[in-house]
């Protein structure tokens, strides 16, 4: 894993690769008491011809910076971020699954590691990157069955829903667990201001399709600006669809022809049905769906099966693979 530390008032310097292991942290660390922490997520892919590719790491680096600014933390430059990702991938290249068998999931984290109790500023910050092999996040190829949560909200205006704060996730674990116990795949959350508009799933963005128009909730501070979301918007426009980033009332979702979600883990996953207040609505699925076409196109780029004309992929230099 990669570890770099930074004192208050200073900038992050080059870190180092060390064996993956537990590390010591003060019981007074800011991350433990005040939740001052962020994480990112991206993947490394092994191609059919033996190359190793990562997908748009600069976008994760920029998002980390935005989140760090929101949580009052210093942050590595985008170049430092991408360099750390490359170093971790190379150090763990034997764990990258063969093509089609999975990917190497990379988890960068940035947090207040220095001791603080009732005062400010935090004396030290840690930027750490580790990785592990993973398979498909959603294994049900027939599509997800979502529950629209009409009581609990994931994020609120002026909060941290628009950044990958570690505080965004466990508050809705209970809601997710209850939905899964009822047989649902995931939860779709509504906006806190009105409770009438869809926002996102537990850890992925949502898209709806009606005719030649594809819509996704606009970035407004409560929705995470997903890297996959951004890529899918561009690919969808390439396919000739009109893409709208807008407020999406629940009624528009229920009236749509097709629904899918996107994310680093989800990639592009079809949503087969949505249940809202005990009423179930079903949507188009299968190989002829837009979601299936987008999944194939995106993964072809990520896996190096087609030429990357967009400059999204970064190949780990073979000369450094050892």
- Residues with catalytic roles: 164
Question: Per residue, what are the HEC states of the chain?
Answer: CEEEEEECCCCCCCCEECCCCCCCCCCCEHHHHHCCEEECCEEEEECCCCCEEEECHHHHHHHHHHHHHHCCCCCCCHHHHHHHHHHHHHHCHHHCCCCCCCEEEEEEEEEECCECCCCCCCCEEEEEEEEEEECCCCCCCCCEEEEEECCCCCCCCCCCCCCCEHHHCHHHHHHHHHHHHCCCCEEEEECCCCCCEEEEECCCEEEEEECCEEEEECCCCCCCCCHHHHHHHHHHHHCCCEEEEECCEHHHHHCCCEEEEEECCCEEEEEEEEEECCEEEECCCCCCCHHHHHHHHHHHHHCCCCCCCCCCEEECCHHHCC
């Amino acid at each position: 894993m990669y570890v770099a530390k930074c004192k208050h008032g200073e900038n992050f310097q080059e870190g180092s690769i060390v064996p993956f292991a537990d590390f010591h942290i003060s019981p007074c660390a800011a991350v433990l008491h005040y939740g001052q922490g962020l994480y990112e997520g991206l993947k490394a892919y092994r191609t059919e011809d033996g190359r190793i590719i990562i997908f748009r790491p600069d976008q994760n680096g920029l998002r980390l910076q935005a989140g760090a600014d929101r949580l009052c933390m210093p942050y590595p430059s985008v170049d430092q971020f991408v360099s750390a990702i490359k170093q971790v991938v190379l150090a763990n290249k034997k764990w990258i699954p063969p093509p089609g068998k999975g990917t190497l999931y990379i988890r960068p984290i940035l947090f207040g590691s220095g001791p603080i109790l009732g005062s400010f500023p935090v004396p030290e910050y840690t930027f750490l990157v580790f990785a592990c092999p993973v398979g498909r996040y959603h294994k049900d190829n027939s599509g997800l069955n979502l529950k629209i949560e009409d009581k609990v909200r994931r994020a609120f205006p002026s909060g941290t829903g628009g950044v990958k704060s570690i505080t965004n996730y466990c508050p809705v674990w209970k809601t997710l667990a209850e939905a899964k116990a009822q047989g649902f795949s995931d939860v779709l959350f509504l906006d806190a201001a009105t409770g009438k508009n869809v926002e996102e799933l537990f850890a992925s963005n949502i898209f709806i399709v009606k005719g030649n128009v594809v819509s996704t909730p606009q970035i407004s501070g409560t929705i995470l600006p997903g890297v996959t979301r951004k890529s899918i918007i561009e690919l969808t426009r390439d396919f000739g669809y009109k893409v709208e980033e807008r407020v999406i009332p629940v009624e528009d979702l229920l009236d749509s022809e097709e629904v899918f979600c996107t994310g680093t883990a989800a990639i592009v996953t079809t949503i087969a049905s949505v249940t809202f207040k005990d009423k179930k609505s079903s949507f188009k699925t299968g190989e002829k769906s837009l979601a299936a076409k987008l999944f194939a196109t995106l993964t072809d780029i990520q896996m190096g099966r087609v030429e990357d004309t967009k400059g999204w992929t970064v190949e780990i230099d073979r000369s450094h693979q050892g």
